[in-house]
Amino acid sequence: MELTVGPNQFFWSADRWTSFHDDLASAPVDRVVLGELVCSKRLPFYQDRIPDAIGTLIEAGKEVALTSLALVTLKRERKLTSELAEMGVEVEINDLTALAHLPEGIRFSVGPLVNVYNEGTIAWLASRGAARICLPPELPLASVETLTAAATNLGVAIEVWGHGRLPLAISGRCYHARLHGRTKDNCQFACEDDPDGLDIQTLDGQPFLAMNGVQTLSDTYACAAYQIGALEKSGVAALRLSPQSNGFGELSRLYRQLLDGECDADHVADAIGRIDGNIRLSDGFLTGARGVDWSGKPAQP
């Protein structure tokens, strides 16, 4: 199984963004998706760094794709979306708007924020040129199995959300701005203080969600370590790791070792806890009664 690094979901300084992608050149990952997924207002801060990062990663032998925004509404965003293909790398569509702008028949990939729930959708996307689909994180293992079989028949590679805070919702409203009593247009980039999102608790102090501008994420970090066997058996082609500010290089090495059979899931879970003792894990969308659940063991077939 391959490892894909998804687009960074958070607002990082241009220097942090650059050094993160420089480090990926030497990380044991096969594919990197970069660009702005969440908020078009962040893009000007690091847009000019993107071509160099693409160059560095391609030189290091990585496959590179450029993501679309997750929600395209404004004129400026539509223009950005229409120009994606001009960068000369594969486009990962995370809003169908991007597909409207791709030349027909061109090969593209589909990100986890496009609603791909069934065989009919996969067949239609494949007929339009989809070569790879990262499934929505919400899907259970049974659906992953069915969809991987359908996709493989059509020559489409399936990727599954392997690690990182889960993207649960996207909105027209910016919650970071709202928290600071500002509107989205005058947000003053309140989200840049939270490189992994801002933790949200219930009134009982129970950790629950994380705020990231217009996006809402899970408090827990998804971790598919215990389900690798089931995913491999289904024919899943790649595992997606979502960037986090802390210890990402080590994280990618851990998952590489797990996929190569050099360590087990217990080792991965323990090591993740050592990178950051404050994070909670989940794999409930794949195997549990609900997304937040954590199995701590492989699913029973």
Partner 1 sequence: MVMEIVCPAGTPAALRAAVKAGAHTIYCGFADETNARNFPGLNFDRAEMREGVAFAHSHGTKVLIAINTFPRAGDEAIWHRAVSDAESCGADAVILADIGLLDYAARNHPGLRRHLSVQAAAANADVINFYADAFGVKRVVLPRVLSVPEIAAINAETEVETEVFVFGGLCVMAEGRCSLSSYATGLSPNMNGVCSPASHVEYHDDDGVLDARLGGYTIHRVEAKDSAPYPTLCKGCFSTGDKTGHLFEDAVSLNAEQLIPQLQKAGVIALKIEGRQRSRSYVAQVVRNFRAAVDALEAGKPMPEGMLARLSEGQAMTTGAYKKTWR
Residue ranges in 73-102 that form contacts with partner 1 under rule CB under 8 A: 73-75, 77-78, 81-82, 95-97, 99-101
Q: How far is the CB of 166 from partner 1 (least distance, A)?
A: 7
**Is residue 168 a contact partner of residue 209, using CB atoms and an 8 Å limit?**
yes
Each residue 214-253 as x (binds partner 1 by CB under 8 A) or -, in order, gives --x-x-----------------------------------
Q: Of 45 and 208, which has the nearer Cβ to partner 1?
A: 208
Torsion sign (Cα): 117, 35, 278, 160: positive
Instruction: Please tell me the count of residues contacting partner 1 according to CB under 8 A.
Output: 72
Residues 155, 125: Cα–Cα separation, whole Å: 12
141 counts as binding partner 1 under rule CB under 8 A: no
Among 136, 162, 213, 243, binds partner 1 (CB under 8 A): 136
- The amino acid sitting at 22 is D
Q: Give the contacts of 185 (CB within 8 A, at least 6 positions apart).
A: none
Binding status of residue 301 toward partner 1 by CB under 8 A:
no
Write down the least CB distance from residue 184 to partner 1, Å.
Answer: 4
Q: With respect to partner 1, which residue has the nearer C-beta, 198 or 275?
A: 198
For partner 1, the closer of residues 4 and 282 by Cβ is 282
DSSP code for 136: P
DSSP state of 45: G
Residue 150 lies near partner 1 (rule: CB under 8 A): yes
Sort strands 198-201 and 281-282 into parallel, antiparallel or unpaired.
Answer: unpaired
* Distance between CA atoms of residues 134 and 166, nearest Å: 13
Instruction: Please enumerate in sequence order all residues whose Cβ is within 8 A of that of 109, keeping only pairs 6 or more positions apart, or say none.
Output: 33, 65, 90, 91, 92, 93, 130, 131, 132, 133, 134
CB of 248 to partner 1, least distance (A): 23
Q: Quote the CA–CA distance of 258 and 228 in Å, as a whole number.
A: 8
Site for partner 1 in 102-131 (CB under 8 A): 113, 115, 117-125
User: Is residue 142 a contact residue for partner 1 (CB under 8 A)?
Assistant: yes
Q: From CA 204, how far away is CA 195, in angstroms rounded?
A: 25
Beta carbon nearer to partner 1, 5 or 210: 210
CA gap 96, 139 in Å, rounded:
19
CB of 185 to partner 1, least distance (A): 7
143 binds partner 1 (CB under 8 A): yes
The footprint of partner 1 on residues 267-296 (CB under 8 A) is: 284-285, 288-292
- Closest approach, Cβ 98 to partner 1, in A, equals 9
Contact between 195 and partner 1 (CB under 8 A)? Answer: no
- Provide φ and ψ at 183, rounded to 5°: -90, 170
Interactions with partner 1, residue window 158-177 (CB under 8 A): 166, 168-175, 177
154 is a site residue for partner 1 (CB under 8 A): no
Residue 270 DSSP SS3: helix
Does residue number 156 form part of the binding site for partner 1 (CB under 8 A)?
Answer: no
Enumerate residues 200-219 that contact partner 1 by CB under 8 A.
200-206, 208-209, 211, 216, 218
Residues numbered 4 to 33 that lie near partner 1 (CB under 8 A) are none
| Region at 7 (left for phi over 0; alpha for psi -120 to 50; beta for the rest) | beta
Residue 148 belongs to what H/E stretch? Answer: helix 141-153
